[in-house]
Structure 1
């Protein structure tokens, strides 16, 4: 639990609020986003879903972790949901400036929606979340797994509470439209991350010239070294020979969302060495667990 708490406070605050905070836009519409208790309900739903997921991961291991393709679909769906909430807030921007008292029916509906939105954040994992999930898997205990995930939620709770405070006050002013524009951009970014994670974006043409890093041969096997940094993978593109086995040695320069890589259809925590069978001519894409940063190996 202490490990999850530390990860939430130190590393998860920025990445999780950026990735999952858009779902809180659903609390700021219809005039009922002014209720501060809704943020508490949101965080309670988040704590419940993360604790349950941690218990399952600790009990059953990685078998219950969604594969990269499934996470990609969830990211696209979450991004579209954020865009829908943002458009709704922009359309209600003027009305939000006027004092309004939500009806009891609206308040009750919001109380149900808030924990559901909080629980849904487990479906949109940030890079640090993936690391905590792997910690829960390695614990081999449902109690330890739930404790790690719960500690992580507690560590990120202050940032989400602050975001909820900002959204409540912005929704009462003409800044609601500006906040909506920012949220639309965040939603589209999430959609793009999902498309990238799913491999549904076209790969760029391989760069030409002497600056392109090349694999080296070691005992009949090609070897590629890639560094994971906070800004992405370096080198971002490497050339290799098709039809020859290759091993990709991932090393970690900086801890961040690039610490988990999705390659050849599976998630790999770094540092690690990934061995690939002979590949056909073409470009192999690998991405971080959030779909933010991409690297390529060009086989020719």
Structure 2
């Protein structure tokens, strides 16, 4: 019963919440299959989805079996995001070069490359993916964990199939170069989220008062970021950060103090020195600051 419940829950999460976020975050890898003249061949899109299903199912089984020991730390995920973004940019450049080339048509991507790219999407998790991964961990069962992750892939499959169709139609026209530019943007965005998640791309924030001497602060997670984005607390004393959820999305998982926390939750911080502590959503898209003074 638990397995069927998690399978249905994964499908629902994929259809309702993961369609937009995962297609945006991982669609660049699918663009890597697009040929300058043929586009993304339907058979290759199927192989891409098969590879994605296999990697997610295997990851879900491992998460269910070994629990949080399998979960990658934020810094490791950040490196993978940067590498994945650079890979997407490389594919996009290849797409645009083939579009400009008037030489004989190059061979299509192989059936080996397509499932490998699909499997690689596990390395570019969207916010909803992280939530499903935590669900797989909490199941404590390899079968239930695999069911949750497989259901999520099934739920997002229609969006990826539609993206493959659009790529095929676009690549047959002179708009193929535009598709390549979109892929470049997706790759740079993915790499940027990795830099943000790793703390290597920061934007200084001016302190905003939220009550002098506060030892408990409240932050609201919305679809558009954390509100307020900067709060103040007293330095040198323990602080509780109460994260409340307004809308489910990327901000539903926060990385703070080098660990991932599923929201809503209360994060207890030991006494901090004067300065700012930065936290970020699980995808590295949205950040917030706690200013200690």
For residues 98-144 of structure 1, what are the alpha-carbon distances to aligned partners after superposition, in whole Å with 9 as ceiling and x for unaligned? 994x6xxx45x511000000000001100000000000001000000
TM alignment of 1:55-204, pairs within 5 A: 55-95=61-101, 100=105, 106-107=107-108, 110-204=110-204
Cα contact 1:216–1:223 (8 A) shared by 2: no
Give me the CA root mean square deviation: 1.7
1:166: how far off?
1.0
Cα contact 2:205–2:230 (8 A) shared by 1: no
1:84: how far off?
1.0
| Aligned with residue 262 of structure 1, among 219, 230, 255 | 255
Residue-pair matches, total: 287
1:95: how far off?
3.9
Give the Cα separation in 1 of the matches to 2:126 and 2:40.
Answer: 27
Give the Cα separation in 1 of the matches to 2:73 and 2:53.
Answer: 22
Query: Structure 1 residue 213 and structure 2 residue 210: aligned?
Result: yes
Give the Cα separation in 1 of the matches to 2:92 and 2:40.
Answer: 16
Give the Cα separation in 2 of the matches to 1:295 and 1:215.
Answer: 19
Aligned match of 2:4: none
1:215: how far off?
6.3
For residues 4-34 of structure 1, what are the alpha-carbon distances to aligned partners after superposition, in whole Å with 9 as ceiling and x for unaligned? 0000000000000000000012101365645
Query: Structure 1 residue 11 and structure 2 residue 4: aligned?
Result: no
Alpha-carbon spacing, 1:215–1:90, altered in 2? closer, same or farther (3 Å): farther
For residues 205-244 of structure 1, what are the alpha-carbon distances to aligned partners after superposition, in whole Å with 9 as ceiling and x for unaligned? 4235xxx323654xxxx10100000110000001122111
Give the Cα separation in 2 of the matches to 1:157 and 1:132.
Answer: 16
Give the Cα separation in 2 of the matches to 1:223 and 1:128.
Answer: 28
Alpha-carbon spacing, 1:5–1:99, altered in 2? closer, same or farther (3 Å): farther
SS at the partner of 2:283? coil
SS at the partner of 1:27? coil
Cα contact 2:57–2:146 (8 A) shared by 1: yes
SS at the partner of 1:214? coil
Give the Cα separation in 2 of the matches to 1:202 and 1:22.
Answer: 24
SS at the partner of 1:92? helix
Aligned match of 2:227: 234
Query: Structure 1 residue 54 and structure 2 residue 60: aligned?
Result: yes
Give the Cα separation in 2 of the matches to 1:125 and 1:190.
Answer: 10
Where does structure 2 lack aligned partners over 5 or more consecutive residues? 1-6
Give the Cα separation in 2 of the matches to 1:10 and 1:202.
Answer: 32
Give the Cα separation in 2 of the matches to 1:267 and 1:87.
Answer: 34
| Aligned with residue 217 of structure 2, among 224, 240, 244 | 224
SS at the partner of 1:213? coil
Aligned match of 2:276: 283
TM-score (norm 1): 0.91
1:36: how far off?
1.1
TM-score (norm 2): 0.93
Give the Cα separation in 1 of the matches to 2:212 and 2:135.
Answer: 32
